[in-house]
Amino acid sequence: MAPRLSLTVLVDNNTMIDHYFSGEPGLSFLIKTQGKKILFDCGYSDLFLKNSLALGEDLLDLDIVVLSHGHLDHTGGLPDLIRHRTRAIIEKIPTRIPSLIAHPCCFYPRPKLPIPNIGSIVTEEELRRHFSVELSKSPRWLTDDLVYLGQIERKFDFEYMATGKRKILMPDGSLVDDQLFDDTALAFRSEKGLVIITGCSHSGICNIVEQAKRVCGEERIIDIIGGLHLLSPDQPRLEKTVSFLRNLHLASLHACHCTSLSSKVALAGSCHLQETGVGMTLHWGSSQ
């Protein structure tokens, strides 16, 4: 039976050996399942488009764009996607109007001085001119086997991160601590268990896994791919995360983007850590 879902890495901090693509500190995946073509995040620049074109994908036939959260390294390519689609319309090249799915907080400005905004530089209002925008805190099934997990319930205290200088500008004009409630992920349901597809895991990879289990009614996790936001975790958090992932008995772990080398070394001691980078394509089988 043909694979039910394929995932190609369009943007990551790293590239694969002998694959001549470029990388940047961002993330973008191209996902195909059940006849749907889904872009998960779009990196920091137009690099996701350049790499996709090099792979023979023009992204004019996207069905869905999903944003894991509003940070620039995951939404920065939105203006380039808009330009790409606009140019096609001008030249009368067939193009679809994709749905864009994200958390309601995804497009709020995020000043972090001296940077005026580390969030999306395209507003929700402008995006609605180009996409069919659907904002949701609740899980939403994109296909029979792929689900957007919505706002992640935070049950593990060790994954809590102090906001520090992170702020978010609310619609009423107030500036509050940014808890990154828009951080979310996808889960794919295969016959062997779940695959977690995450952007940065600001909400905590353990919290994300538990939400995926609840939403899908499935305890088995076979793979996780994406950033784990383990850049400089304190030792207790790293140890508890490694212990949690060890107990999942993953078939493989594709930790990338915002996962430091030292964290990868710690994870490799107890998980089947795999190399991840631009140009790599993964396949997972069909659900029963």
Query: pLDDT for 225-248, tens place per residue?
Result: 999 999 999 999 999 999 999 999
The residues near 115 (Cβ < 8 Å, ≥ 6 apart) are none
* Side-chain-facing half-sphere of 16: CA atoms under 13 Å: 16
Res. 165 pLDDT band, cuts 50 70 90 = confident
Helix, strand, coil % over all residues of the chain, rounded to 5: 20, 25, 50
Q: What's the angle, vertex CA 278, arms to CA 60 and CA 262, rounded to 5?
A: 140
Cα gap 26→12, rounded to integer Å: 5
**Helices assigned H by DSSP within the chain:** 47-54, 72-75, 78-90, 124-127, 205-216, 235-246, 261-268
Pairing of strands 193-198, 185-190: antiparallel
Q: Measured in whole angstroms, how far is the alpha carbon of residue 220 from the centre of its chain?
A: 21
Tokens of 269: 């001691």
Residue 161's pLDDT is what? Answer: 75
Q: pLDDT by residue (tens digit) across 34-83?
A: 999 999 999 999 999 999 999 999 999 999 999 999 999 999 999 999 99
Number of structural domains found in the chain: 1
Q: pLDDT by residue (tens digit) across 131-149?
A: 999 999 999 999 999 999 9
* Residue 93 pLDDT > 90: yes
Give the range of the structural domain holding residue 144, as residue numbers without chain letter. Answer: 5-284
Residue 252's pLDDT is what? Answer: 98
Q: CATH number of the domain at 77, please.
A: 3.60.15.10
For the chain, give the mean pLDDT: 95
* Residue 220 pLDDT > 90: yes
Backbone CA torsion sign across 77, 255, 282, 146: negative
Tokens of 164: 């520090």
* Residue 128 pLDDT > 50: yes
* Residue 117 pLDDT > 50: yes
